[in-house]
Structure 1
Amino acid sequence: HYVPSVAAAVMDELNLKGAAIGNGLTVPSIQFAYYPELAYTYAKKALGKPVISYPVYLLQKAGWPQCHEMIEKCQNDTSTCAEAQKICEVMMMAPYTMSGMNPYDIRLKCEKEPLCYDFTNIENFMNNATVKSILGVPDEVEWSDCNNTVNAMFASDWMKNFDRQVVELLEGGVKVLIYAGDMDFICNWIGNKAWTLALDWSGKAAFNAAKVREISLPGEPEPVGEARLAENFSFFRIFGAGHLAPMDKPKVTLEMVKWFTQPEKPAAAELVMAEENPTVVFPEF
């Protein structure tokens, strides 16, 4: 939710042209509902087996009403937001994380706490004496990939919905791209798709009626994703990518960003989208 908040705040002052959100948590009141389906139903279809057991799936489904109730309270009473986060983590997140699987990629085990990935190279770079000197960081200060104290400071708005800010951007003529790797659990593509379809804005009817089109990339034999595009709003699903889509599918995400940032081109323009062959083809720049 950081991107829509910051983008909406600066859009007028900076003449903002576009904003992109990758595997984001924008509308918790919608997105949290899709955790059980992603981990069980979708994983069974995509991977051949679910990530969680059927009893755990039912446990998550049973926990959703209480989680949803707390999320709704949080929208009007910030003092309840921290509690909402705790309840939803227990009801909706914990059953998955207890499986030992990576919440950022349903294909992988969580091999290294706390983020399930090995960031040793980044830590070594950031704590290098020369790098610290260039950045003006005192020698005694150590960089780490997680800081729970800082993270806790954001707890008050973790469960807030930020769809209003997205509407402000769209109605203000700003291009908005929502993309999601389809192997992510924590901010999964199904939940992101759901909130983009539920978004109340002037282009809702056109966006919801738009055909979902396969994305092709020159040199790739198979489709690399699918897209729904209308006016200045785009939703991209990236096949085979987890939460860290640029890491998993660097070529695809690079071409997507290059396409999105082309000047004077609406988000749904300049693409091959023949009705008889509904395919989005990223042009070669």
Structure 2
Amino acid sequence: MGSIFPLNPMVAIMRTYILIRLAGPIFNEYIEEQNAKNISGAHKISLESVLIGYVLPAMPSLLELICSRNGWYDPLIQYQAYYNYTVFPGNTYDYSPFNTSVQEQFYNQLYGPGNCLDQIKDCAARGLNDICESADNFCYSLVEEVLPDNTNRDEYDIRELQPDPFPYAFYVDYLNTPEVQKAIGAYQNYSESSSAVGNAFSVTGDDNREIGTIEALKKLLDQGIYVLLYAGDADYNCNWLGGGVVAHEVNAPGFASAGYTNISTSDAIVHGQVKQAGLFSFARIYESGHEVPFYQPLAALEIFERVIKGRDIETGTCGVGAGSGYVTNGTVESKYREGNGTIQWEVQSANATYNTTTGAPGGLGKRDVGKRGRGLQGALSHAGKKFKI
């Protein structure tokens, strides 16, 4: 059995990152379990085995790091976070989208008898596809969609109205050029999503199931794998308030006593804060929607580099491996508030450009960049439902 990667170091690195980003904690833990079995004839999935001979001995094995961006981990926590983000305690953009009547209706649809939270618990208790699908549809329509239904705002970036032209879509054309496909060894065109896969997730109500994601994260940490959870704080869909609660549920050693501290980057601008204990960290990225690398490219790149080098997220200068005792010092909560200076009150032109320095639209481009589908969320639907990745 040969390697699953071609013998090209840059392609191997690219595909490794894609697998880490999309597979999720469950798949990654499964791969580690299979590696531990040492099955005769099977190859462990690791960069060390792929990159032999390419003078990259310092690169970590594939599953020595996990980066999860604006993830959807636990519906019981994260459906409540929709209310937390928009009503109480609210977001850091000083944007209160609902009047009192909508707030009360929102609360009832979430916490009322037989409503969203009760249905999530029923799904967890019985595990039946029809029960979970019904819960999924109820919570999506009457909890998650309260924001876009009442404000026409983009749930992946509350600063923008719909249709939101950001992030751009022209990268799809670039990836499908013959030159790029030949360079990376692609044998078919790139597409952002699959309707067949999306519908399969929908009919089993997977968004409303907690399928062991948090436990999988714990197991990965127990195996010495560097785990970073991070979220753009303008994203409502998988917002950072819910992500922060999930981070505490992981209960990594020392994390409860860690504090939020500023992330230092080469441009000397604070783009966010991180809370870290050893190999586990949670980062909040300022002025960023769901796709953090688009909104804060330099910060996203430098954070990723720190993870793959086994360094701390705050400065990139300290090792955080087993026995390091590394813990961030800072505030119990991340308190920085952007205010509403970057909240947009008019729909942006389809060919608007985004200024990553100001965190706001920065003028018109030369081409119609269109609306990015954001993977499963934007392009797939089952009875109108969006999907999270």
Whether these two folds match at TM > 0.5 is: yes
- Give the corresponding residue for 2:236: 185
- Give the corresponding residue for 1:103: 155
**TM-score normalised by length of structure 1:** 0.80
CA contact (8 A) 1:227 1:237 kept: yes
SS in 1 for 2:275: strand
Deviation at 1:24, TM superposition (A): 0.3
User: How far apart, in 1, do the equivalents of 2:201 and 2:28 lie?
Assistant: 18
- Give the corresponding residue for 2:101: 55
2:10 is equivalent to residue 10 of structure 1: no
- Give the corresponding residue for 1:159: 208
User: How far apart, in 2, do the equivalents of 1:10 and 1:192 lie?
Assistant: 24
CA contact (8 A) 2:24 2:68 kept: yes
Deviation at 1:229, TM superposition (A): 0.8
User: How far apart, in 2, do the equivalents of 1:220 and 1:71 lie?
Assistant: 44
Alpha carbons of structure 1 residues 129 and 64: separation in structure 2 relative to 1, 3 Å: same
Alpha carbons of structure 1 residues 120 and 217: separation in structure 2 relative to 1, 3 Å: closer
**1:8-157 superposed matches below 5 A:** 8-12=29-33, 13=35, 14=45, 16-41=63-88, 46-65=92-111, 66-75=115-124, 76-79=126-129, 80-98=131-149, 99-111=151-163, 117=166, 120-125=169-174, 135-137=186-188, 145-155=192-202, 156=204, 157=206
User: How far apart, in 1, do the equivalents of 2:300 and 2:167 lie?
Assistant: 22
User: How far apart, in 2, do the equivalents of 1:48 and 1:177 lie?
Assistant: 27
Structure 1 range deviating more: 46-55 or 99-108: 46-55
2:250 is equivalent to residue 196 of structure 1: no
**TM-score normalised by length of structure 2:** 0.60
Deviation at 1:2, TM superposition (A): 4.3
- Give the corresponding residue for 1:231: 278
CA contact (8 A) 1:110 1:117 kept: no
Gaps of 5+ in 2: 1-21, 36-44, 46-60, 312-318, 331-389
Structure 1 range deviating more: 31-40 or 251-260: 31-40
Deviation at 1:252, TM superposition (A): 0.5
**1:274-285 superposed matches below 5 A:** none
| Aligned residue type for 2:300 | T
- Give the corresponding residue for 1:283: none
Gaps of 5+ in 1: 276-285
CA contact (8 A) 2:252 2:280 kept: no
CA contact (8 A) 1:63 1:91 kept: yes
Greater helix share, structure number: 1
Alignment size in residue pairs: 264
Alpha carbons of structure 1 residues 274 and 218: separation in structure 2 relative to 1, 3 Å: farther
Deviation at 1:170, TM superposition (A): 1.6
2:320 is equivalent to residue 266 of structure 1: yes
- The equivalent position to 1:210 in structure 2, one of 251, 254, 258, is 258
SS in 1 for 2:208: coil
User: How far apart, in 1, do the equivalents of 2:305 and 2:162 lie?
Assistant: 32
User: How far apart, in 1, do the equivalents of 2:154 and 2:28 lie?
Assistant: 30
Structure 1 range deviating more: 59-68 or 241-250: 59-68
Deviation at 1:69, TM superposition (A): 1.7
Alpha carbons of structure 1 residues 224 and 18: separation in structure 2 relative to 1, 3 Å: same
CA contact (8 A) 1:233 1:267 kept: no
SS in 1 for 2:73: coil
Alpha carbons of structure 1 residues 245 and 54: separation in structure 2 relative to 1, 3 Å: farther
Alpha carbons of structure 1 residues 2 and 52: separation in structure 2 relative to 1, 3 Å: farther
- Give the corresponding residue for 1:280: none
- Give the corresponding residue for 2:377: none
Q: Kindly provide the CA deviation profile for residues 81-128 of structure 1, in whole angstroms up to 9, marking residues without a partner as x.
A: 21121011022112112121101101001216xxx6475424434565
Alpha carbons of structure 1 residues 210 and 23: separation in structure 2 relative to 1, 3 Å: same
User: How far apart, in 2, do the equivalents of 1:231 and 1:263 lie?
Assistant: 10
Alpha carbons of structure 1 residues 33 and 235: separation in structure 2 relative to 1, 3 Å: same
For the pair shown, the structure with the greater C-alpha radius of gyration is 2
User: How far apart, in 2, do the equivalents of 1:67 and 1:172 lie?
Assistant: 35
- Seq. identity, %: 22
User: How far apart, in 2, do the equivalents of 1:237 and 1:178 lie?
Assistant: 9
